[in-house]
Every structure is written in structure tokens, then in C-alpha cells.
Structure 1
Amino acid sequence: MEFCALCWMGLENAAEQELSARKLHAEKIRKVRQLIGEGKRKVFFEADPDADTLRQLGTVEDVYAVIASSRNPGDMKGLARMVERALGSETLHAALNLERAVSGRAKAARFEPMITIENRSDMRRRELRDTLLTGVDKKLPKWRRTRRDGIGLWLDIHGPRAMLCVRLVSRRSGKRRDLPGALPASVAYSMIFLTYPWQGEVFADPFCGSGTIILERLRFADASAILGGDADGKAVRTAAENLARTPFVPVRLDATGLPLPDGSVDAIVANPPWGEKHDAKNWTADRLADLYEVFAEEAARVLRHKGRLAIITTAAKSMDSALKNRRAFTISKCFVVNCLGLRPHVFIALRK
């Protein structure tokens, strides 16, 4: 079966690496440089995965089973024929069985129609929605439309290409309290993934905010110790609420003076303040630069030899300067991610 995963622009390589690591037919992965709505990319792969493997994918936001695709379905009548064939196919039933295994839901008769259209001037979103709804009425007459908690049916048109998919996984449905500037879960997971976490490591997030990075680290192999906290008391309380069902308790701490011995940490993953995410009066460019300089020095102190640092910010020049000024880090990766309506840089650095 063919699948389509959506990831934030800039995380395609991380998604490809994770798919390969999970042995999802890595040789058949193909990246398609098409943007979807909020700045996401499509990554296609062919596999016969089990439900657990799909649930464990962390670098992507959504995963869909492709039940029909066409390089050129022609006009609306041709598209309607493609939709009706797909909704009566064995591929649909296989996708629905997999969706139930992933979600744990009983056999459902409710669906959410989703439409995306790019680079096609002769089709309108309303026409596409009506085509999908008509196809469901004909082939699945017992199904009822809903706005939430239904089976996602996604009709996507990009230029001459068309595809119809069933949503299997969505990482946007978590019941988590977020603070302004909180990272999407898949971005936090990808940053951790790119530090190659291992069982027994000592992990730290000194700008924990609402706790997203800590929550994502708990999805990996057990660390021997995790330190997470924030200088903001409200952030610590919010993180504690989000982490209430875990054994982890965030603490109030100063990232520029960590309560840790020298060379005691294996990995630091952090989402420090950005100018665009905070009150500009409080976080000027100069103040951010000063914060990054002091934090880089503290990170160099507590990280072991070959310890890993992953950090995200829109103030890329200040962060690059702070890491290079220490002469204690080698920047192994630096790339732009499209998220939160911004284009922050992610730095992956190795302690010399």
C-alpha cells in the first residue's frame, strides 16, 4: 500500500531518516516538493506497516493511506469517476481496517471531508467537496459527515495530479495546554531524533515552556535522567500539568546557571525565547544575543565530550555567533523549518 505523510517544510530529511530506521521500505521513499496549506511537505512511501509502527512515527504530523491517485483525471467528471471507484474498492477497506487498528475506534460511519487544491484554476474547492460528498452518498450511504472525530477522507489536487486518501494518524489532536511559541510536537520530536538519543543518556531541556520537548523525549528509549525546567513560573506550572501522567516533574531553573556538574549531560534540546514569540520590549535583539552567549557557555560546561545540542530560533545570526564564539561546538547541521507561521533555524551541534 502507498502512504503519504505530511511534515513541516524543512523536516523532510528527518522524516525520511525515521521511515528508513523503522524499515518502511526505505528504498521506495520518494519526496515530493509540494506545499500543503500551512507549509507542509508530502513524503510518500510504500510499506505494509502494522498499527504500532504508524503510531510511533514522530517526525511527521499526519499519515494517510492513498486509496486512489491519478496523474491526470481530466475534468470534474473524470475526477468523480476516480472518487467513486476508490470508495468502492478493496483498497479502501484495507485502509479502514488499518485506521481502526491505529485509532482503536470501533467500526465508524462518520467521516470528515478534507479538500486541498494547488495550481489548478479550473477547479473550485466547493466543487471538489461536492464531488467527494456525492461519491460517499453513492458508495457509502450509511456514512454521515462530521466536523471532528470521524474518519478523515482527503481529496488532494495539485496541478494535474489527484489523490484520495484515508487519514490514519494525526498528531494535532493531542489534549495539551500550550503557551505562546510552543513547538509543534513533530518539530520537537525531530530535533530530539537528530541528536540520536540512546538508552541511559542524561537529557536536559532548560527552556521547557509547556513541556513539549520533554513529552517527546519520553517517547524514545529511557534516559537515565531528565532535567527540564524554565525560569518562568507559569511555564513550569503548565509543563507540570501537561506532564501530570508521567513520572517527570519540571522545576524552576535558570538556563544560564544550570544546577549540574561539569560534563554531566549527554544531550540538550531547547526552544529558547525568540524575539517574534515574546514581547519585543522584553526580548530585544541585543538581549537575545546576550542570553544566547551566556547559555552557549553554560551548555558547553555541562555537556560531555561529544555531547549533542539541538536548539531552534529565528535569531539565527545571534545563535550561530554564540556557538562559534565558544569554540567548544562543531555545528553539524543548520536548516530552516517552516512552523508557527515563521521560518526558524534549527542548529544541531556537537561538543568538542
Structure 2
Amino acid sequence: MTAASLVARCAHGLEPTLSAEILQLGLGAITHLGHREIHFRALRPGPVAPRTADDVFLLAGHRPDPGTARRDVAALSRLAMEADLDTLLELRRAHGGPGGVSGVSGVSGVEVSASFLGGRNFNRYDVEDAVGSVLARRLGVGYHSRRTAGAPPPGHTGWRVTLDGLRATLMLRIAERPLHRRDYKRHTVPGTLHPPLAAAMARIADIRPGHTVLDPCCGAGTLLAEAGGQAPRAVLYGFDLALSAVRAARENTAGLGVVVGRADAGRLPLPDGSVDRVLSNPPWGGQVTALGLLAASPSHWWAELRRVLAPDGTAVVLLPGLDELPLGLRHGLVPAHVQGVRVSGAQTFLVRLTAPTRPRRTRK
């Protein structure tokens, strides 16, 4: 069997983190870094599911980007005509994808999702229909158009088309559903974190066996679930002042040994210097309103983070802007890494900070 050419897609800004995970896990040799995607060649058959990826696809084919006019959309049907569908479906099964039970091709239907960079005189549904109708005809199955806004029936293969101004790319999803949909995430709350972003934060924190890990504003527990998945021998604590968040976090982290409780992030029930790693998406604006001491001043959050963090400890936080960093500096935390990430279309910053090696005086 020929080596598969794969494409992992991610949030904009996480490309370096996803690349590092692919290499560290030995999933393949990287061949191209693009906007929100990493192209790599698989080293061997088997499941390919990096935690920092939104999804992973088999590369089905490339053509030049046809342009911006509506009449140019028809040219995209060539992507579907030229794809080696038998080989793609065989590679999909070899890399852990479903084999299918119906239809001549082993699949029950086709769904296509499209995106493009720059202004166009057509919409994504025009692209999807141009490609999807041809794929369905070649496979001898039905096509589910996303114009209807309804979910496709079970068993449909997921295809993706991207236009970046230089080339048009067709891809086939390996898994039955996008990788960012985690099984553990049974409950959500406002402001819940995107799981691949949480996974990236946990990776950047470099959690080791035996580390005590804290999320002082845990929400639905996404950061704790991702940390527990990556470092099962860590000790995990999560606190939130909202009862709905505490209930959601307990459900989502069930079985991971996470201790979840109700507490104010400005006055945590933990001893000084007892935490090796802090992971947090603080409620500073956006979808969640700060409560308790944090509503009075963000300084309480920074002071408490510094108090519980052990000497040489690390905090990885998601901030809406870099104007919050001076407060961290004022409390003795040193920025070691800053990475811009787009979350739901908004620019945010993933920041890693370290505590000095000398412990602070114990609070009386």
C-alpha cells in the first residue's frame, strides 16, 4: 500500500504546536505548512488522531485555484473526477476510519464542507455542491447538501474543499466525525474552551508524572480533561464559583481522578507553592462575566495564581489581550512564551509564564 498523504487542520495560530505533536508522536514526515493546516506523509498504517488537530484528512487531490467568478466554480468538479476513490477508501480503513456497510463503494453517502480565503462571487455551498454531486455519482450513493442546514444521515463520508488563492484542495476525513468532538464533553457552559486549544495548552505546559495541575476557573473542565488524557499520573484540581460549571466539570472529567470543587479563583483552598502547573482560561470579558473577587479586580487572580504556584512552576493561560501581562509581571511571573491564536474569529493570546525559583513568603 502506498504511503498516505495526510492533512491535519487546526485553529489559526496552533500550526507550530500541531506540527510539533505530529513529529513527537511519530505520525509522519511534514511536507507543507499552510494556513490552518499541516501536510504530512504517514510513516505507517494506523490511527492518526493528534489532540491539537481539529480534524485529519487524506489528501485526495490538488488543482489550481479557479478564481473568484461564479462561473469558475464548475472547474472544481475536476477535483472529484480525478480523485482515486478506491485507494482513498482503502487508506481510510488502514488509518482507523470506518469501512462502511452499504453502497457499492462501502459508504452510504457523501457530505462536503468548503472554505476559502479572499472575496469570491460565489459561496461555500456552490463549491460543496459542485464537488459533492460528482463524488456521489462516482460512488453510487446519495449526496447531502449543507444548504439544508441539517445533519447528514449516519455513515456519510466527510469531504473537505479548501481554496487558498493558489490552489484548490480536496480531502477525505479519516474518522467518522471531526476529531475536535470529544466523547468526554457531555456538558458545556458559556465560554467553554475548544478541546484542541485546551490540548495545546496542556502540551505547552509540559506536565510530568506526579505534577499537581490546577485550573482555578475550570468551567466545563475541558482543560482538566485534556491534561488528564495527556498526563494520567498527574494530580488534577479544578475550581469554579458557578455551580453549573462545577456540575459540568465533574461530569466531563468523571473517571479521570480530577478533584472539582466550588471556590473563588481569588481565594483558593490550596496551600502556598503547592501547584506545579496552572492551566486557565480566565473569565475576563467575552462570554463569561467574572464573579467574586475577580469581579472586583483581575489583580486578585494574578496574586492567587502566584501564591499557589510552586517555585519554578509554570502557568499557561489564554488572554484576550496582552495588556493583562503587566499584572502578571507585577506579581513576579515571567513570560516565557507568547502565541497568537484565533478563537471563534477573535484574536487571543496563549501565554506561558514561569514562577521564580525562590519561594514567596507564606501568606498569614
After TM superposition, the score normalised by the length of structure 1 is 0.84
Let me know the Cα RMSD of the aligned residues.
2.8
In structure 1, the residue matched to 2:172 is 166
Which one has the bigger helix percentage? 1
**Does residue 1:189 correspond to 2:199, yes or no?**
yes
Q: Residues 36-47 of structure 1 correspond to what in structure 2 (within 5 A)? A: 41-47=36-42
Matched-pair contact (CA < 8 Å) for 1:229–1:251? yes
The match for 1:66 among 49, 59, 65 is 59
Matched-pair contact (CA < 8 Å) for 1:270–1:311? yes
* Cα deviation code 1:172-228 (max 9, x no counterpart): 434532111111001111111101111221111111111111111111122342111
Q: Residues 1-80 of structure 1 correspond to what in structure 2 (within 5 A)? A: 1-26=4-29, 28-33=30-35, 41-52=36-47, 54-55=48-49, 57-71=50-64, 78-80=75-77
Give, in whole Å, the separation in 2 of the partners of 1:340 and 1:157. Answer: 20
* Cα deviation code 1:146-165 (max 9, x no counterpart): 62542201122232411111
Quickly say closer, same or farther: Cα 1:7–1:130, change in 2 above 3 A: closer
Quickly say closer, same or farther: Cα 1:235–1:111, change in 2 above 3 A: same
Give, in whole Å, the separation in 1 of the partners of 2:79 and 2:234. Answer: 53
* SS at 1:275 equivalent: coil
* Cα deviation code 1:272-303 (max 9, x no counterpart): 11222234xx679xx85864322222222222
Quickly say closer, same or farther: Cα 1:222–1:76, change in 2 above 3 A: closer
Matched-pair contact (CA < 8 Å) for 1:200–1:222? no
In structure 2, the residue matched to 1:309 is 315
Structure 1 unaligned residues grouped into runs of 5+ = 34-40
Give, in whole Å, the separation in 2 of the partners of 1:260 and 1:70. Answer: 57
Matched-pair contact (CA < 8 Å) for 1:120–1:160? no
**Does residue 1:235 correspond to 2:245, yes or no?**
yes
Give, in whole Å, the separation in 2 of the partners of 1:29 and 1:263. Answer: 44
Structure 2 unaligned residues grouped into runs of 5+ = 145-150, 357-364
In structure 2, the residue matched to 1:37 is none
In structure 2, the residue matched to 1:256 is 266
Give, in whole Å, the separation in 1 of the partners of 2:186 and 2:100. Answer: 21
* Cα deviation code 1:36-78 (max 9, x no counterpart): xxxxx122222235444x23x1111111111111235795565
**Percent of paired sites with the same residue:** 25
Q: Residues 68-107 of structure 1 correspond to what in structure 2 (within 5 A)? A: 68-71=61-64, 78-90=75-87, 92-98=88-94, 101-102=96-97, 107=106
Give, in whole Å, the separation in 2 of the partners of 1:113 and 1:276. Answer: 32
Structure 1 residue 112, shift from structure 2 partner: 1.6
Q: Residues 101-116 of structure 1 correspond to what in structure 2 (within 5 A)? A: 101-102=96-97, 107-116=106-115
Give, in whole Å, the separation in 1 of the partners of 2:179 and 2:245. Answer: 22
Across the two proteins, how many residue pairs are aligned to each other? 334
After TM superposition, the score normalised by the length of structure 2 is 0.81
**Does residue 1:213 correspond to 2:223, yes or no?**
yes
